[in-house]
A and B are shown apart, each in its own frame.
Chain A
Amino acid sequence: MTTDVIAKPTPSAPRRAVKKRKPYRGKLWWRYLAAAFAVAFALAPIVYVVLAACNPAGTLSTLNFSVHDFGLDNFRFLLGKHDLSAEVTYENYPYLLWYRNSLMVSSIAAIMQVTIGTASAYAFSRIHFKGRRLSLGGLLLLQMFPQILSFIALFLIMQKIGAVFPFMGTGTWAGLVLIYLGGAMGYNTYLLKGFFDTIPRELDEAATVDGASANQIFFKIILPLATPMLAVVMLLAFIGLMNDFILASIFLTKSDQMTLAVGLRSFISGRYESSWGVFAAGALMAALPVVILFQVLQRYIVEGLSAGSVKG
């Protein structure tokens, strides 16, 4: 059975498909119906955001879109091609710069989060050490602490770190990434541990008999099998980081350092006025990287997860 896995990396899906397609064929229509309902539910608000984004005076609580007002000015503004007014200029709201910052911080932090999370998950899944269950439970409990005021403590820490290592104190990307890494041992570790548990233990046992070290097992056996699983966790981590508002808004104080979520917020945070149209356009474009990334990773995710199906 174990050798079977290595010999046959292609998942068993096609085989299954051939076997099962027939009895279900007649009943497919309701699956489509349900899918259509779900898509409508998911997309209806998005359609509205698109409408608001194409309207210069877009608000979020009216349907007052006049057709001849429609245009792409909001998008052109965000791309630095068109100033909306004397105050609302690209210079004051450098959207593309925020975009770059977000992609940079989120991808670096996501990769490192997953790296650390993977290492921890491996230990939790494969090594039987004292207090394993307890620390796993403790990890989960830690995630439940209401973090309403933790940012003050984080700020104090970052100030101290910044006093010694100025390149990673407050107001630096390195510092923000560091804070994000504090959450690496959270849900990601849990998710990965669950996945690792589905990889047959017999595989590493066989390798151990052949004289492989823990490192070798991890890098040569577990990781290749888990690459697709890492894709899922990576995607989840990336989404979480792209959408982080609170930490990024506290630790990146300069406008050319801002991330998308923080920068976008400034369009609507004025006490008396808000530019919902620009905001909506910016948010739509901010969602693009995630959707594209998912599209790219989907192949790995679906196939990858079925690789675990050889367990039985």
Chain B
Amino acid sequence: MKSKKNGFIGAALASLVIATMFGAPAAHATPTTITIWTDLNRASAFQAWARTYNRNHPLVVVNVVGKDGAKDKLATVADGDAPDLIVGAHDWIGPLKAQGMILPVTLANASQFAERDKAAFNLKGATYGVPMTVENVALFTNMNLVRKVPKTFAEFEADSKAFLKKHTKAKFALAVAPGDAYHMYPFFSGLGGYIFGGTSGNWNVHDLGIANRTFLKNAPLIDKWYAEKLINANVTGDTALAAFTSNNAPFMITGPWNLDKIRLKNINYEISSVPTIIKGIKPVPFYGVQGVMMTKWAGPGKHNIKLKVNGVLADLTTKPTQLLIANQTIRTPANLQARAKFKDVDSAAFLAAGQGAITMPQILEMGAVWTPVANAWGQVKAKKHAVDRFKAAKSTVSKAIK
């Protein structure tokens, strides 16, 4: 409020001066409002940033609106309420670009970002978002229940079995929802599976790796894990977190979004990558980049807003802003200079676990993948053998994509 007022006075004075000096038409320096949608969990972080930004930019008012499911709400928003920027994961850009909802952005301070973070927001050569934070899942070990972090998969299995033997009521050792293809990806990749061939932004949708030969050869291990009660098909995201935070499971697969809840319960945990399952195949998680995208409402229809939106985007790329957002959301910042200063105890462990991670495909076709692969993992009653389930998943996906 105060900044607006100051800006107004300053602008009024300035316009007076100009009018007398050049006889130019008086400048109407009303502040431009730039609306940015973010999910509710991150709203307060972006609000904190916006307060500073607005103070330093009297002629811009960044209005942060907390909104869940922003991606789907763009289709039904009145022009007057529509956002100029939205905060979301990089895999939104495929569908949003196809819907004509977003436009390419100019990336300032580009040299301060890692190639793979830039590539995550890139489609056909154009950049559709400013990377803010990066994330991936990792293996959490409860050190009250396991003596040391398992280095090999055999150790992991042995620890799990020992736990199950001791706690006869326990129904699983690894707290993860098998019916969730995102969280299961380290195991999927660790058995030799992949979704699309190619590289980030250049995915080959005709090279489906859901049921490739290597994976199918190793897939019987999944049946074994179920039989050994390592994992349990009835676990949901909620049950997983509840079990791990109440010392009822020695291991969990999760990401930085659950850190505050785990810390709140004073669990003595360690973060590591999933140990190698098959010799020569490194299990890697999906890599996700959260960023800020520019909507069509900030586009050429409103020429006079685009420069200011670009100014906001440029500020979001800077080290102080990235550090602020990262600290408030406990996620590793994308800006490498900010990353060097980011002090969270688990940041390094998460990054290490994300070494070699596969960038989550950001293309439209990914929409046809999630559910069939999740079902192949979780719906153990449908078909007895994992091999058959993944074969069926592959045929569903390839039929849908065609």
Contact = CB atoms under 8 A, between A and B. Distances in A.
Direct contact, A vs B (beta carbon within 8 Å): yes
Interface stretch (B119-127, B217-225, B257-265, B353-361): B257-265
A41 interface: no
Nearest to B76: A155
Contact of A273 (B41, B81, B239, B265): B41
Interface stretch (B9-17, B64-72, B369-377): B64-72
A150 B61 CA distance: 36
Nearest to B183: A272
Contact of B261 (A89, A158, A250, A273): A273
Contacts of B254: 272
Nearest to A156: B76
Nearest to B42: A87
B320 interface: no
A62 to B, nearest CB: 5
A254 interface: yes
Interface in B343-373: none
B78 A57 contact: no
A55 to B, nearest CB: 11
A170 B77 CA distance: 8
B233 to A, nearest CB: 13
Contact of B239 (A59, A87, A162, A265): A59
Interface string A242-255: 00000000100111
B150 to A, nearest CB: 24
Interface in A247-306: 250, 253-255, 265-266, 269-270, 272-274, 276
Interface residues of B, number: 37
Interface in A188-216: none
A273 B257 contact: yes
B278 interface: no
Interface string B248-260: 1000001101101
B44 interface: yes
A44 interface: no
Contacts of B42: 87
B239 A85 contact: no
Nearest to A175: B78
A60 interface: yes
A10 interface: no
Interface in B126-159: none
Contacts of A89: 44
A265 B40 CA distance: 12
Nearest to B238: A59
Contacts of A308: none
Contacts of B243: 62
A170 B236 contact: no
Nearest to B68: A269
Nearest to B39: A270
Contacts of A85: 260
Most buried by B among A59, A89, A253, A266: A253
Contacts of B246: 64
A171 interface: yes
A159 B239 contact: no
A268 B349 CA distance: 28
B43 interface: yes
Contacts of A273: 41, 257-258, 261
B95 interface: no
Given A57-B245, A92-B44, 11 more contacts: A57-B261, A59-B241, A62-B238, A92-B43, A92-B66, A169-B78, A170-B77, A170-B78, A250-B76, A270-B41, A273-B258
Interface of B: 39-44, 65-69, 73, 75-81, 236-239, 241-243, 245-246, 248, 254-255, 257-258, 260-261, 265, 328
12 contacts: A59-B241, A59-B242, A61-B239, A61-B242, A64-B248, A92-B43, A159-B79, A250-B73, A255-B65, A270-B40, A272-B255, A272-B257
